Amino acid sequence: MHDDFTWGVATSAYQIEGGRFEDGKAPSIWDTFSDIGDLPESGDVACDHYHRYLDDIALMADLGIDAYRMSIAWTRVVDAAGNPNLAGLAFYDRIIDALLAAGIVPWVTLYHWDLPQSIEDEGGWPNRSVVEAFDVYAAIASKHFGARVKNWITINEPWVVSMLGYKDGVFAPGRTSFADALAAAHHQLLAHGRAVGTIRANVPDARVGIALDCRPCRPATPNPDDEAASRYFDGYRNRWFFDPVAGLGYPADMLSAFEARGHLTSTTPEWLKSGDLETISARLDFLGVNYYTSVAVRHGHDEDEATDVPSGPYPPSGYTEMGWQITPDALHEYLVHLHKVYQPNSIVITENGASFGDGPDLTGRVADIRRQDYLEQHTGAVRRAIADGVPVDGYFLWSFMDNLEWTSGYAQRFGVVHVDHDTLVRTPKDSFYWYQEAIGRARTS
Ligand code: IFM
């Protein structure tokens, strides 16, 4: 790893902040979803980072990271009329100032799933007017924080927002139309492209990227039906996002497949306007990649993630408690693939990590050996990709601390810091010390 390689940890606003009613925060779609849905827990208090951020930043300093990837809650900093909310901006001022004072570089994500409810009420991501609203937000945030924040991520995991939120209805806002999900995907990518220009206009030395989630896949068997299913899954899950961002437009095979399945009325969708693809493929300073697992795809399962395929192409070395296969080789292979096909000038792993439920033993120690193994294997995969010539320039571990894992509540624990969700006491896990040492070793090697 080169000297400028960035080692960091990542979180997102709704998953850690709490402070739902503080300082004029407006409701987001996740506030609504937790109010009306059948969720185990809400983010109303979460890790109470809203009030405990100084303690959390002190732990981050102890961890020895270069950078902290956080998200801003749109609903804290912009009011329903599109004007800045000064009290909300001041909360992030305090965090950013504390990070900088601790020698930690802030990387700010603008959108990590918490759409203002007022915008959802006007149609949400499927309605093109969201692009303008996002640009107003990006302008407010980049003008306000740009002197101190140079690293910007526009949107996190647009596949999840579109498909789980608007097609499957299992995430906020809980809608179930494939056609709307495709429009939601397009408008997120368009909002991303517009925001790249807006951020650069306000922060001339900004480094801007997007965080795309990926699920590398292979056919479960050489059977042509499995091969076709895998090709479709790859298009639906990965290429639909990576291709347009890289300037290749929407994949032609998927436009036809979506039309054939009735998700689009034509291969020239009505939401695709002249100039959109140019906006979406704005030059990036880095491509953010979130990687957790890979899948083997079977015929009949080309839109789901069947994890029970016994002998997939990437034999898993185990499973995390999300039920996800542990397949570090797929990360290595996918990084090589991204480099070859899309040639980004820089790749940053914007998320990677694992859910394991280990808690403190009688001495207070959290011996989360499985997470250490996972991290060791995946940072090893990143090293191998770099040795193969892939320009990976950073790695953000998901997550700094146990937090609200969306509809799974607090039961799934991704943190290197354990959080007791009754007392909110933080306890660094063994993986925290493993990461601290790994960063130290990388700096001196
Ligand atoms: O917790 C999430 C995060 O919000 C987005 N990426 C995947 C993580 C683990 O599921």
Q: Which percentage of the chain shows pLDDT scores above 70?
A: 98
Mutate to test the pocket of ligand 1, among 398, 400, 402, 416 (most ligand atoms within 8 A of CB): 398
* C-beta 334 within 6 A of ligand 1: no
In a domain, residue 367? The reply is: yes
| Interval 187-199: pLDDT, tens | 999 999 999 999 9
User: With the C-alpha atoms ordered 121, 125, 128, 130, is the resulting torsion angle positive or negative?
Assistant: positive
In a domain, residue 63? The reply is: yes
Three-state secondary structure call for residue 319: strand
Q: Whose CA is nearest to atom 10 of ligand 1?
A: 405
Beta strand 417-419 with 426-428 is antiparallel
| Interval 235-255: pLDDT, tens | 999 999 999 999 999 999 999
In a domain, residue 96? The reply is: yes
Of the residues 17, 120, 333, 351, which is catalytic? 351
Distance 80 CA to ligand 1 centre (A): 27
Question: What is the value of pTM for the model shown?
Answer: 0.98
Give the pLDDT score at 304: 80
Of the residues 120, 157, 333, 405, which is catalytic? 157
> DSSP label at 4?
T
Annotated catalytic, 157? Answer: yes
CB atoms within 10 A of CB 7: 22
Q: Residue 363: CB partners within 8 Å, gap ≥ 6?
A: none
Tokens at residue 375, please?
A: 């991290």
Q: Provide the domain count of the chain.
A: 1
Beta strand 6-10 with 392-398 is parallel
* C-beta 157 within 6 A of ligand 1: yes
Nearest to 105 by CA among 55, 71, 150, 53: 150
Mutate to test the pocket of ligand 1, among 114, 292, 351 (most ligand atoms within 8 A of CB): 351
Mean pLDDT is highest, among 67-71, 214-218, 439-443, for 67-71
In a domain, residue 213? The reply is: yes
Tokens at residue 41, please?
A: 């827990």
- Rounded to whole angstroms, the Cα distance separating 114 from 17 reads 12
- Rounded to whole angstroms, the Cα distance separating 373 from 159 reads 28
Beta strands in 195-258 (DSSP E): 207-213, 217-219
Query: Which residue is associated with the tokens 């979506």?
Result: 258
Q: Whose CA is nearest to atom 2 of ligand 1?
A: 405
Distance 143 CA to ligand 1 centre (A): 28
Q: Residue 15: CB partners within 8 Å, gap ≥ 6?
A: 43, 46, 47, 112, 399, 403, 404, 405, 406
Distance 405 CA to ligand 1 centre (A): 7
In a domain, residue 215? The reply is: yes
In a domain, residue 87? The reply is: yes
Which residue range forms the structural domain that includes residue 14? 6-444
Q: Residue 443: CB partners within 8 Å, gap ≥ 6?
A: none
- Give the CATH number, domain containing residue 195: 3.20.20.80
| Interval 15-47: pLDDT, tens | 999 999 999 999 999 999 999 988 889 999 999
Give the pLDDT score at 309: 62
In a domain, residue 1? The reply is: no
Annotated catalytic, 351? Answer: yes
Beta strands in 231-332 (DSSP E): 286-290, 295-297
